[in-house]
Each structure stands twice: as C-alpha cells, then as structure tokens.
Amino acid sequence: MTILITGVAGFIGSNLAIKLLGLGHKVIGIDNLSYGFRRNLELIISHSNFDFIDEDFRKYDSIKNIEADALVHLASQKIPRYTNALITLSDNSIMLKNAIDKCVKDKIKLIYASTSDVYGKNPNIPYSEESDLTLGPTTVKRWAYALSKIYGEQYIIAHADEYGLEYTITRFFGSYGPHQNLSWWGGPQSLFIASALSKSEIEIHGDGLQTRTFTYIDDTIDGLVKCIIEEKSKNEIFNIANNPNEEITILALGKLIWKLINKDEVPPKFKFIPYASFGKYEDVRRRVPDISKIKSLLNFSPKHSLTDGLKQTIVWQKKVTGS
C-alpha cells in the first residue's frame, strides 16, 4: 500500500512511518515541522519508499496531487495549556476538512487520530468506545482540544453516512517513547526524565493524584497499523491503550522515573504547580481504558509494561539530549 501520513515528523507519525516502511509499504509524509523534528526522520529520510513533503497541511494544495491508498491524519494542535484555544479549534478543523475532502474525492480510507481526552470528566471508568463524552464548560479552554476531536469524529461519521467515506477512528491513551516531544507538548514523562537526569525538582501540575494509563509507542503503533490494514477495522472506533491495570498517578510516575534513573541514591524532589497558574483550568482525575474491543476484533495485545517502556525511553532520551 501507499500510505499518506500527516504529521509524519511528529512522535507517532515518525514511528508509524518507520514501521510501515519496514513492512514493505510506501509512505508519503507531510509535516510543517511546527512541533515535529527532522531528527525523527533521520532513519528513513533516504529510504527509497519514503517521500517527505515539508508543507503546511492547512493548505489543501499540499496534498492535492498525491496518490495514496489510505490517509493517516495525525497532524494536530493539542490541549491549549501554553498555546491558545483558537489555534486548536481552527487548525484542527481546517486540517480535518482537508483530510476528509481528499479521502472522499480519491475514495481512500481515512484513519483519524482522536484522543482519550474525549471522555473528559466522565466518572464511570474504564472508558469503552460507547462511553459518554463528558466535557467541562466552554469557558475552560483546555476542552477545546477534546471538542475539536469529538467534532472530527462526528464529522467523519457524517461523511461516511452521506458520501460513503471509509474510516477508522483511533483514541490514543498517553503514548510515550522514542521521538516523543521533550516539552509538555509530549506529556509529563519526558520532563520528569529530564528533571531526574539533572537531579532537579520534578514539576507536578495539581496535587499529582490524577491518574493516567500510559502506552509504550511500539504498542500504540501495533494497534494503529491494525487500524490501517485490517478489514475488520472499517468504520469502527478503537481505544489504543495499555492494559487498564497500568493506571498510575502522576506523582507515582514521577517517583518511578526518579527511581529508575537515580536508584535510591538521592531522594526525589517535587514542586507542585497549582492549576490556577494556567488560568481557568480543569484536569481529568482518572483515565482508564477498556481495550476489550480492539483486543477481540483486531487481536491487539499490549506487550510493554510501564517500567519496561520507561527504561527504553530513558535510554533514548539520554542519547538524544547527550545527558
């Protein structure tokens, strides 16, 4: 297959491109390098089956003439913690429309990266694909991200109903690993690793008792590839996540990373940052996936425990930052 990936120089996009090329597919990737890195592509940039387009996907012309069998739409703005909600809402809707228009016109499958953030504050865990999506008020800008992805999901399904668009929607749960963004953009783990390596304070947002279920990138990619290739993924939504028993508080994640790097030689140091410093902010207290659907339909099975995945991530981060 020839697979077009938007956001190919990002964390998930670059790992996906490497995997697909290894499986013998052709990959055409677009990225404007706003949050991605050329270093993420260094393994594949000269590969004969890989083409890189350094362009802004908000412009439809950037992909108009590309011939592909499927489009994996990963390029995105995320939770506006340090950016603004307008960019999240407008960029995500413009790029979504471009992705849909391309797939409808060329009659190719769209694989859309949604997020576990769509479940919002729903207190009923674990979250299955049929769970309610419970967001907070529109005056809290962090919900702009989840809202943009919910809109994306519904807009895609409406195009399937009206124009026969073929799709698969994936909801990722906190993926981490090599090529992750080293700022908050990539989640807390890379900053925790950096702090533990320099033996400086780990910054925790809120009280640290909020939980997440982190997924090692190889497992995320394994699930995503199944969603691209397997016939049974057609017109379905899937959680792609680690096993629910890997749920961990953010504070415990900080302690675990510190211990993996510094053993018991130095006690960890934490600095708690109140949510109020981000303006009107709301966090999700617990986030736990139900992955029974992707397990039974696509034979998905996550293989990496959090500790095992973090060890591999630390090795990569030390190498890339020279620490």
Ligand X SMILES: NC(=O)c1ccc[n+]([C@@H]2O[C@H](COP(=O)([O-])OP(=O)(O)OC[C@H]3O[C@@H](n4cnc5c(N)ncnc54)[C@H](O)[C@@H]3O)[C@@H](O)[C@H]2O)c1
- Binding residues for ligand X, rule: CB under 6 A, are 7, 9-13, 30-36, 56-58, 74-76, 78, 91, 113, 115, 172, 174-175, 181
Whether the CB-CB separation of 25 and 1 falls below 8 Å is answered with: yes
Shortest gap between Cβ of 7 and ligand X (angstroms)? 3
CA distance to 12, 88, 113, 235, 264, per residue, from 170 (Å): 12, 19, 5, 11, 39
Between residues 31 and 222, which has the closer beta carbon with respect to ligand X?
31
Between residues 262 and 282, which has the closer beta carbon with respect to ligand X?
282
State which amino acid sits at residue 43: L
Nearest 5°: the CA angle 32, 41, 78 is 45
Between residues 93 and 181, which has the closer beta carbon with respect to ligand X?
181
Shortest gap between Cβ of 42 and ligand X (angstroms)? 14
- Closest-by-Cβ residue to ligand X is 10
Shortest gap between Cβ of 232 and ligand X (angstroms)? 22
Between residues 174 and 188, which has the closer beta carbon with respect to ligand X?
174
Residue with tokens 């993924």: 233
Between residues 13 and 126, which has the closer beta carbon with respect to ligand X?
13
Whether the CB-CB separation of 291 and 244 falls below 8 Å is answered with: yes
Q: How far apart are CA 154 and CA 272, in angstroms?
A: 37
- Segments in 5-66 forming alpha helices (H): 11-22
Whether the CB-CB separation of 187 and 24 falls below 8 Å is answered with: no
Shortest gap between Cβ of 187 and ligand X (angstroms)? 6
- Segments in 245-305 forming alpha helices (H): 250-262, 292-298
Q: How far apart are CA 202 and CA 162, in angstroms?
A: 50
Residue of 35, 112, 119, 145 with catalytic role: 145
Shortest gap between Cβ of 12 and ligand X (angstroms)? 3
CA distance to 59, 157, 257, per residue, from 141 (Å): 26, 25, 30
Residue with tokens 């690993």: 177
Whether the CB-CB separation of 230 and 294 falls below 8 Å is answered with: no
Shortest gap between Cβ of 92 and ligand X (angstroms)? 8
Between residues 10 and 268, which has the closer beta carbon with respect to ligand X?
10
- Residues facing 216 on adjacent strands: 176
- Encoded tokens for 296: 């039974």
176 is catalytic: no
Give the residue numbers annotated as catalytic, written as ranges: 145
